[in-house]
Amino acid sequence: MEGVGLHVRLGTSLCDLFIKAERLKLPFFQTFFSYETTGKYVKKDPYIQTYIEERRDHFSALYLHASYYINLADYRSDAFHLLMRDLMLARYYLFSHVVLHPGALIDTDRERGISSAARTLSRALKIIPHIQILLENTAFGGRSLGSDIEELLLIRERVNYPERVSLCIDTAHAFAFGYSLDDPVVRRHFFNKHGKLARLVHLNDSVELRGSHLDRHAAPGAGVLGEEVLHDLTQVFQGTPLLLELPELDEQSEVAMLARVRSWL
């Protein structure tokens, strides 16, 4: 599976979201299950489920971005129940993948945070079959777990179902954390080390400089990484689905940006 998809904001309903995805001819897309305007979560609705079921074959994959409130690294938190809510809704609405940040440590014990994340994931995956988990790297460093991609791999190693856990690599996050993706030699090394387990790439430009630990996306080519670097990254990750998480733009600008990135392929 390859191609270029888009993060689509959930406005009025899941039905409208699928209508937009079809209108943009997206091969796949990503969304949250909380409404952009109210923050409320979607509920199970048999009518919407049937509506999605009738259109599911139009898309090679559907990616749910899990709630930011899920903190797998905090063994004291309600992460398991929050994760189960997202996984059950994803399964109900026929989504194939859940993109997930591991969360933030409650202290300086990274080992305990990694073990906590693996235990919670193992419990959830035992109950919910089929859905794939994609652990996404973050930009922040410090107590944030998974900015260093090696930590995502350690979580995967300890999960009871590692075959159902892979990586989502966000290029802006990696750059803001400190990976020198603006260096062509480093880009190849980065892919050789981490790219084999990447099942999705968030192809984002960064407003912020390398090592800033600030998560601010720019449209591809409009940030510090720039068009040349991102074009090369599409070649480095050739064959891996690419997904754009754009700043808020009108639909005409989204169409133009999708066409631009597709032309790089």
**Domains of the chain as residue ranges with CATH:** 4-264 (3.20.20.150)
For residue 255, pLDDT beyond 70: yes
Q: Of the candidates 29, 23, 26, which has an alpha carbon nearest to the alpha carbon of residue 8? A: 29
Residue 139: per-residue pLDDT: 95
* DSSP state at residue 195: G
Sorted by sequence, the CB contacts under 8 Å of residue 154 that are 6+ apart come out as 114
Tokens 């048999």 belong to residue: 46
| pLDDT tier for residue 204 given thresholds of 50, 70 and 90 | very high
| pLDDT tier for residue 196 given thresholds of 50, 70 and 90 | confident
Rg of the chain taking only CA atoms, in angstroms? 18
**Which amino acid is located at 51 in the chain?**
Y
For residue 148, pLDDT beyond 60: yes
Residue 46: per-residue pLDDT: 97
| pLDDT tier for residue 218 given thresholds of 50, 70 and 90 | very high
Backbone angles phi, psi at 47, to 5 degrees: -65, -45
Residue 77: per-residue pLDDT: 86
Backbone angles phi, psi at 214, to 5 degrees: -115, 130
**Which amino acid is located at 210 in the chain?**
R
Percent of the chain with pLDDT over 90: 90
Average pLDDT of the residues in 113-129: 97
- Token pair listed for 62: 């559907």
Contact 167, 197 (CB under 8 A): yes
Average pLDDT, the chain: 95
Residue 1: per-residue pLDDT: 53
**67-108 pLDDT, tens per residue?**
999 999 998 889 999 999 999 999 999 999 999 999 999 988
Higher pLDDT, 1 or 4: 4
